[in-house]
Amino acid sequence: MLFRDVSEFLKEIEETTSRLDMTAKLAELYNKLSPTEAKELSYLLLGKLAPDYYGVELGIGMKLLFEALSMATGWEVEDVEKLYEKMGEVGELSQYLITKKKQSSLASRDLAVKDVYDALFKISSTSGQGSVMTKIKYAAELFNNSSPLEARYIARMLVNKLRAGIGEPTIMDALSWSKTGTKEDRELIERAYNISSDIGEVAKAFLEGKDLSKEFTIEVLRPIRPALAERLNSAEAIFAKLGKCAVEYKYDGFRMQVHKKGDLVSIFSRRLERMEGMFPDLVDSIKEMPYKDIVLEGEALAVNKKEGTFFSFQETMHRRRKYGIDEASEKWPLHLYAFDVMYVDGDALIDRPFKERRKVLESFLPFSNNIKLSHMEIAHNASDIKRVFDDALSKKLEGIMAKNLEAPYKAGKRGFSWIKLKKSYGKSVDTIDGVVVGYYRGSGARAKFGFGGLLVAVYDSERDEFQTIAKVGSGFTEEEMVRLRDMLSEIAIKKPDKRLNTVVEADVWVEPRYVVEVMFDEITKSKQHTAGNIDGQGYALRFPRFLKLRDDRDIYSITTVNEVLEMFAAQSSKK
């Protein structure tokens, strides 16, 4: 398929406000693509070139983009930069410059989807001496062969700012819609994606008519999307929901998915990024596990050996680094507390009850100084749950996780088979994890930092959209204000993200990329925020305070609207 035709579809999707119409239009596009084109375009729609665990980064800097546009159009770089300052958006800029070229290309050709994908992949993978100029030439060649509308979307892809408002849920809905005109195949598609973490391969296989349940099974060294927990606010509520259950300490560190295949070890973060290079101390122990092939999950915390306690989350985060790894390993030694196992030597365990998976885990752990079993007890009543919870807090942990003994491992799913109960912070009811969708420049004493606070949203999984819940203006140190300003200015956009439902304004809108933990006093009804919006009234956090940046979490595993509604109901019942 020609990229010119794809661009027309993207334009229509961009101009669509209805999520249903967007899904139908994307489904129409998938019906015109070959399976291989569907695979490649699925990645590009998400600002990727491959699954996250490949570690392939899509995007070049703005400076290189300006150089490429200059080379392709004959405009001086300085004039390109001035025009960008005026327009403020790379798609509009590129579309205008291609329309107003000051030089003609010696030769041009129609671009296919594969041509664009291959060129972007070359740009991403080019490195070494002379790589900057090579990247510029590849990008300029794309612009030479593009129409103005194609240039609009190619430029956005080059800087990873497509702004189509499309996430994995919308792609899965559209794939189902492309064959049935309904979402009836969504569950089958989602299961394949949760097992493989590869939306491109799933799209390709689905359009080829393959049996997804047989095509996608656990594969060692390919990560499974992690199971997610719901929350309740008391031991009594948990026992009423689960009855007799397993209760584990909730460790506040790195969630890790460990894969071992012979002597090969991969460690994936909660966001499915490769991490084994950062943790040689754990890799050495994992290699000694008494199975050839294994997939397990755990939480890693830095241990203060001198005091016999855990370091804080912020201190544990010092282990996430590319340099100075040996020194960090010595200063912040990690212990991995394994809490689940999904695969052992050819035997997939995810569909087995948790109590059986736990027995397998206990059969070979602990076996080293730094890989241990998570602390777990069986609760026969609410008092047992409360006792384990208090015990966890006494060890400076953040709470507990209660688990249904009969439940399978629900990859990529949130549900009440796992329920978390977290500590309160002073008088705070709880905390939420939200995605930053905008920020405020600040005034008074904060004017010098260029930062005054955050606009934070939660996720509505049914609508595949983010809904605002709080303006967060306190809790920041001066260092955090500077860091957040610098991080967020890099992902600033001209308009709110297409996936954002908001009625409040931000001084600067940003791509939904960074997750923060926010504590608050209570949840209130509000006409200013859209979280759980019913008849123009949503929910908001009262006295929200910034707690920490959650680099370990992705934007789809944040607090959901349903969680907010449940927290509000629990809060109301207490009153």
pLDDT digits (tens, 9 = 90+) for 338-382: 999 999 999 999 999 999 999 999 999 987 889 999 999 999 999
Q: Please say if the pLDDT value at position 321 is more than 80.
A: no
Looking at residue 185, what is its pLDDT? 96
The predicted pLDDT at position 311 comes to 79
Beta strands in 452-521 (DSSP E): 453-460, 465-472, 492-493, 500-501, 508-510, 515-520
**pLDDT (average), residues 448-462:** 91
**Beta-sheet pairing, 334-344 with 309-310:** unpaired
| Portion of the chain with pLDDT greater than 70, in percent | 98
Answer positive or negative: Cα dihedral of 304, 306, 309, 312.
negative
Q: Is the pLDDT of residue 151 over 90?
A: yes
pLDDT at 35: 98
Taking residues 292-297, what's their average pLDDT? Answer: 97
Q: Rounded to whole angstroms, how far apart are CA atoms 171 and 213?
A: 18
Q: How far is CA 88 from CA 84, 151, 164, 221, in A?
A: 5, 16, 17, 42
pLDDT at 439: 96
d(CA 6, CA 33): 9
To 5 degrees, how large is the angle CA 42–CA 45–CA 50? 55
**430 close to 496: Cβ distance less than 8 angstroms:** no
Contact 507, 440 (CB under 8 A): yes
CB atoms within 10 A of CB 386: 19
CA–CA gap between residue 549 and residue 514 (Å, rounded):
8
More confident: 423 or 27: 27
Separation between Cα atoms, residue 528 and residue 159, nearest integer Å: 32
Q: State the DSSP H helix or E strand holding residue 73, giving kind and residue range, or none if neither.
A: helix 62-73
Q: With 60 as the cut, is the pLDDT of residue 428 above it?
A: no
Q: Cα–chain-centroid distance for residue 314?
A: 20
DSSP states of 194-254: HHH--HHHHHHHHHTT--HHHH----TTSPPPPPEEEE-S-HHHHHHHHSSEEEEEE--SE
The closest of 393, 423, 389 to 309, measured between CA atoms, is 393
Please identify which residue in the block is written with the tokens 């390109």: 80
pLDDT above 90 coverage of the chain, percent: 72
Strand partners, 229: 415
Mean pLDDT calculated for residue range 11-35: 94
- Other Cβ atoms within 10 Å of 249 Cβ, number: 23
pLDDT in tens, 30-64: 999 999 999 999 999 998 999 989 988 877 889 99
Residue with the larger pLDDT of the pair 355 and 448: 355
Render 253-299 in DSSP notation, one character per residue.
SEEEEEEEETTEEEEE-TT--B-GGG-HHHHHHHHTSSSSEEEEEEE
The C-alpha atoms of residue 542 and residue 3 are separated, in whole angstroms, by 48
- The chain-wide mean pLDDT, for the chain, equals 91
Active-site option among 25, 161, 204, 250: 250
Active site residue 86: no
3-state secondary structure of 364: helix
Instruction: Say if residues 54 and 180 touch (Cβ distance below 8 Å).
Output: no
Confidence of residue 517 (pLDDT cuts 50, 70, 90): very high
- Work out the angle between the directed axes of helices 186-196 and 168-180 (0-180°, nearest 10): 140
Say if residues 43 and 50 touch (Cβ distance below 8 Å): yes
Q: Could you give all domains of the chain from N- to C-terminal order, each with its CATH number?
A: 228-422 (3.30.470.30), 430-574 (2.40.50.140)
Residue 567: the pLDDT is 86
Predicted structure pTM score:
0.89
CA distances from residue 203 to 52, 89, 123, 223, 505 in whole angstroms, order as listed: 16, 30, 24, 18, 36
Mean pLDDT of 114-122: 96
Using the predicted structure, report yes or no on whether residue 425 has a pLDDT greater than 60: no
* 81-108: pLDDT as tens digits: 999 999 989 999 999 999 999 877 666 7
- pLDDT score recorded for residue 103: 79
Q: How many residues does the chain have?
A: 575
Q: Which of 77, 189, 176 is nearest to 136 (CA)?
A: 77
